[in-house]
Structure 1
Amino acid sequence: MRSPLLALALAALPAAPASGASLLDYVGQCVPFARAASGIAIYGDAWTWWEQAAGRYRRGSTPRVGAVIVFERSAQLRLGHVAVVSRVVEARTVMLTHANWSRQNGARGHAEQDVTLHDVSPGNDWSRVRVWYRDTGGLGGTVYPVAGFIYGDAAPAAELTGAAPDDVGALIDAYVTAR
């Protein structure tokens, strides 16, 4: 069982996990996790990151490893969501590492490494996406609006991607089970 103090220490970190602590042991909100995993020092609700990044960080619509994707506020995500790109699989499919998305052991907040994110925007511009969801074992049915990607200057956390991410599984999730 994880110490509540470790969780608090990870949440308070501006850009990196505590020495010896695994980023993937994190349990909490997406914002402190994304900050620690990417090195992008933005605070506040996830949906505010896009505007806060203006003039401080480069922004765009192309996924890159270590970039933070900013999900806009919506009925399903009233505070938005932020996640870090851990791997680019192909032009419309990437993998994310993030926290507080799927339930694990009956609770939200846990970190998840290398989960599929698929661009379903009509213009192929990453403005609308579907995300892998543990409870369904595939891409969820909800399409989420996205503001874009924020590109940091620091190297992302070493644990951002696993040793053997499942690119083929990500493509199967994205295209074979596409709705």
Structure 2
Amino acid sequence: MRGLLARFVITCLAGQAASFTAPLAASGLLDYVGQCVPFARAASGIEIYGDAWTWWEQAGGRYDRGHRPREGSVIVFAKTGRLPLGHVAVVSRVVEQRVLMLTHANWSRQNGERGHAEQDVTLYDVSPHNDWSQVKVWYRDNDGLGGGIYPVKGFIYGGHPSKQLTARNPDYVGALIDAYAPR
């Protein structure tokens, strides 16, 4: 009986793992609905597991890290009251010194639910020293930058990013307007 139970548990866990990662492989990166961590892992090729806020420390000694965005790098948001598990996203385009676009999942609500992937979302560096330690993120519900400022640990480099990270013709002007035009 124990052997049968063990096989059942293993089969169930394997099924859960397959269904957990299948959406990324089955339909395409932007059709994903779920948490930010598996999305960022699939989109960036950076093989780190666990809550988003732990990625920065886990990357130490395994991946290069820094405080300047590069296309394909993963940005790690710190754990806060608003982000109790942190957040990770993948840089899809660097627009200019304080503006970039990222592709991520589970940020804005779409059709009333969270978890959807979003491509080429504006991220604005609002840190006093232009070091990407504090950012504002475009928020679909506001149709512009959200009001919150989020602390960032930095960028993790060295994965093999998906070719679906950015649109064929990203809206650089829109990203700059989002960042610099008052609402």
Q: TM-score, normalised by structure 2?
A: 0.88
Alignment of 1:25-174 (within 5 A): 25-154=31-160, 156-174=161-179
Q: CA-atom RMSD, angstroms? A: 1.7
Q: Would the aligned equivalents of 1:101 and 1:109 in 2 still touch at CA under 8 Å?
A: yes
Q: For residue 89 of structure 2, give the secondary structure of its aligned residue in structure 1.
A: strand
- Equivalent position amino acid for 1:160 in 2: L
Identity of aligned residues (%): 71
The structure in which a higher percent of residues are helix is 2
Q: CA deviation at 1:17?
A: 3.6
Please give the per-residue CA displacement for 1:87-121, whole angstroms capped at 9, x wherever unaligned.
00000000000000000010000000000000000
Q: Which blocks of at least 5 consecutive residues in structure 1 are unaligned?
A: 1-6
Residue 146 to residue 159, structure 1, CA distance change in 2 (3 Å): same
Residue of structure 2 equivalent to 1:4? none
Q: Give 3-state SS (helix, strand or coil) of 2:180's partner.
A: helix
Q: Which runs of 4+ in 1 moved over 4 A?
A: 7-10
The number of equivalent residue pairs is: 168
Deviation digits for residues 20-57 of structure 1, max 9, x if unmatched?
A: 52110000000000000000000000000000000000
CA contact (8 A) 1:10 1:26 kept: no
Aligned equivalents of 1:66, 1:91: Cα separation in 2:
16
Distance 1:33 1:12, change over 3 A: same
For residues 157 and 97 of structure 1, what CA distance do their matches in structure 2 show?
11
Secondary structure of 1:85 counterpart: strand
TM-fit CA distance, 1:12: 2.8
